[in-house]
Chains A and B, each alone.
Chain A
Amino acid sequence: MNQTFNLQRLLKLIRKHGIENGRAHLMSMLAMFGCQAIFIAFWATAMGPDYQETFLYIFYACGLIIAGSVFSSMAFSFLGDKPKGIYWLGVPASHLEKLITIIFYYTILFFLLYTAGFLLLRMIAVSYIKGHSGYTFTPMAGGQGFGKILPDFLFGYLSFQAFYMMGSVYFAKLSFVKTTLAGVAVIIGFIIFNKLLMDSLDEGFVWNFPNILDFNGRNASNVKVYSLSSTANDIVSWTNRLIWAPLFLVTTWFRLREKQI
């Protein structure tokens, strides 16, 4: 028997989680669908006559990250309750399988249901708008404006989900608030670090991540720029998009392994 990962065991665990928590998850999803419906109904009926689809997708992306983070911050809340924690840790499955089960329900299924709900409501709202002669509807262009950065929001969603999931293992109570505060502290630390880095540069140099600008003896139109090659820049950029979710999830896995109740 593989002690780290076994597909059959994982499927049993996913099924067990569904049987035992399906009703609670369904209620959460219905509540979220209700919130989406209220917002989109308000947009479709009161924000005319010129409708921009981009606005809908901004709502979708922000809602996905915020609602996803709140939902994810409850992923391991049961570990703060001794009886529930003993029940969960005692299930004969590995920590990895238990983590994957939680990711399946709190990240993947949440994303699919949130997106399906949004697309359904969007379709109804757009049909409603197009059915009115005085209304105009501008679809979002895929490769420009918000459409261009929408994929980044999806990477952001995964990173935020993983971050709040990690927080729910570390903080037994008020996980969302404490994780948010921890995140803010890290961001402030990063800003201070950047400031110190800028201050350490010689006079005339400006740190403009990821480039360094040299103003020495030059005017604004003749700045010397030290930058990474486009390949290196792409690597940094994609690493920045992709690294956070795995990093937080691996940390969560280690934390689960050392969890004591």
Chain B
Amino acid sequence: MVDIQDLHFRYRKKTVFTGLTLQLSSGHIYGLLGKNGTGKSTLLRLIAGLLQPDKGKISVSGLTPFQRDPEFLARVFMVPEEFYLPDITVSRYLESNLHFYPAFDQSKMSGYLKEFDIPATGTLQQMSYGQKKKVLISFALAADTPLLLLDEPTNGLDIMSKSQFRKVIASAMSENKTVVISTHQVKDIENLVDRILIIEDGRILFDQGLDMINKKLTCSLSYEPNAIAGAFYAEASIHGTSIITANPGEDEGSLDLEMLYKAIVTNGDKVSALFKTNTINSLP
């Protein structure tokens, strides 16, 4: 679905990517994690064709994003962190936009709006930030584009809306669809994403499926100094020390995405080595 080869990109005063290579396949929900300013939003905008790579190649279903051909734009929908919606009612918004997306499903749109409890009256500008965002997410899902890019989608959503968000995203998934969710609120996408990408200093620091991660790593509470010292990451709490360690039995462990992220950011080489070693060991 998305093929990025040797991507180089820099803003006037800041280099963001120097040789990023990445493939995203259909049928997955990717969680794109990383510190502020590491290039998550830039990567999404490059994939959406809003920015032009300095060097390297991006291909989405064989199309070049920056050409911004109508065929490409009808296949990709991006929900940016800061977004704009015109000052019209939801029905007028649908009337003016839905014809551009061949697979748009109006009944799904109505269902999402109902799920999100969006008022039927009033213009989009009269809605709260969270309501506007929910309208845009609903439209993005109803448009049923093969590639959906969500940049910090849960920002501005209340607790109930966040769980509704997870529910509607999960219900909209299909084998032909790829969803990329960029966020630093990892708790919001737990149990939703099936692959984790972590960006650091313009490169992919970690790229693994959740099944594999659950086999290789586990989170637990510990009081034993040796276990704490040997953990990839440890964090003291009033209940004991939360640690993330290698999963010795390779049975599915319990995983906390936030702990995983912290382990990779603070101890990335060791975590990555564990995956490489096990990958090599699993070869016949």
Contacts and interface: CB of A to CB of B under 8 A. Distances in A.
A23 to B, nearest CB: 8
Given A86-B80, A90-B78, A92-B100, A20 B70 contact: no
B100 A12 contact: yes
Contact of B78 (A81, A86, A92): A86
Nearest to B99: A12
Interface string B122-152: 0000000000000000000000000000000
A257 B69 CA distance: 10
Interface stretch (A1-9, A29-37, A227-235): A1-9
B200 to A, nearest CB: 24
B88 A83 contact: no
Nearest to A261: B50
A252 to B, nearest CB: 15
Given A260-B50, A260-B52, A20 B100 contact: no
Nearest to A18: B96
A92 B70 contact: yes
Interface in B80-104: 80, 82-88, 92, 95-97, 99-101
B205 interface: no
Nearest to B143: A92
Interface string B27-71: 000000000000000000100111110000000000000011111
B1 interface: no
A258 interface: yes
Contacts of A261: 45, 50-51
Contact of A83 (B69, B84, B101): B84
Given A20-B88, A89-B50, A83 B83 contact: yes
Contacts of A23: 87
B87 to A, nearest CB: 8
B255 interface: no
A89 B68 contact: yes
B260 to A, nearest CB: 31
A83 B85 CA distance: 9
Contacts of A93: 70, 73, 100
Contacts of A20: 86, 88, 96
A97 B49 CA distance: 17
State which size class the interface on B falls in. Answer: 20 to 34
A257 B66 CA distance: 8
B52 to A, nearest CB: 6
A19 B74 CA distance: 20
B interface: dominant SS = loop
A21 B77 CA distance: 22
Given A84-B84, A86-B78, A15 B96 contact: yes
Contact of A92 (B51, B73, B84): B73
Contact of B51 (A3, A6, A83, A260): A260
Interface in A58-110: 81-84, 86-87, 89-95, 97
B115 to A, nearest CB: 24
Contacts of A16: 96-97, 100
A14 to B, nearest CB: 11
A231 B87 CA distance: 54
A21 B86 contact: yes
A111 B58 CA distance: 43
B50 A86 contact: yes
Given A20-B96, A261-B50, A91 B73 contact: yes
Nearest to B92: A19
A260 B101 CA distance: 23
Contacts of A87: 83-85
B86 A3 contact: no
Contacts of B96: 15-16, 19-20
Interface of B: 45, 48-52, 67-71, 73-74, 77-78, 80, 82-88, 92, 95-97, 99-101
29 contacts: A1-B71, A3-B67, A12-B99, A12-B100, A16-B97, A19-B86, A19-B96, A20-B88, A23-B87, A81-B84, A82-B80, A82-B82, A83-B82, A83-B83, A83-B84, A86-B50, A86-B78, A87-B84, A87-B85, A89-B49, A89-B50, A90-B77, A91-B97, A92-B70, A93-B73, A94-B68, A97-B70, A257-B68, A261-B50
Given A91-B73, A257-B68, 14 more contacts: A1-B71, A6-B70, A9-B100, A16-B100, A23-B87, A81-B84, A83-B83, A83-B84, A87-B84, A89-B68, A90-B73, A92-B100, A97-B70, A260-B50
4 pairs of A and B residues whose beta carbons are closest in the complex = A83-B84, A92-B73, A92-B74, A20-B86
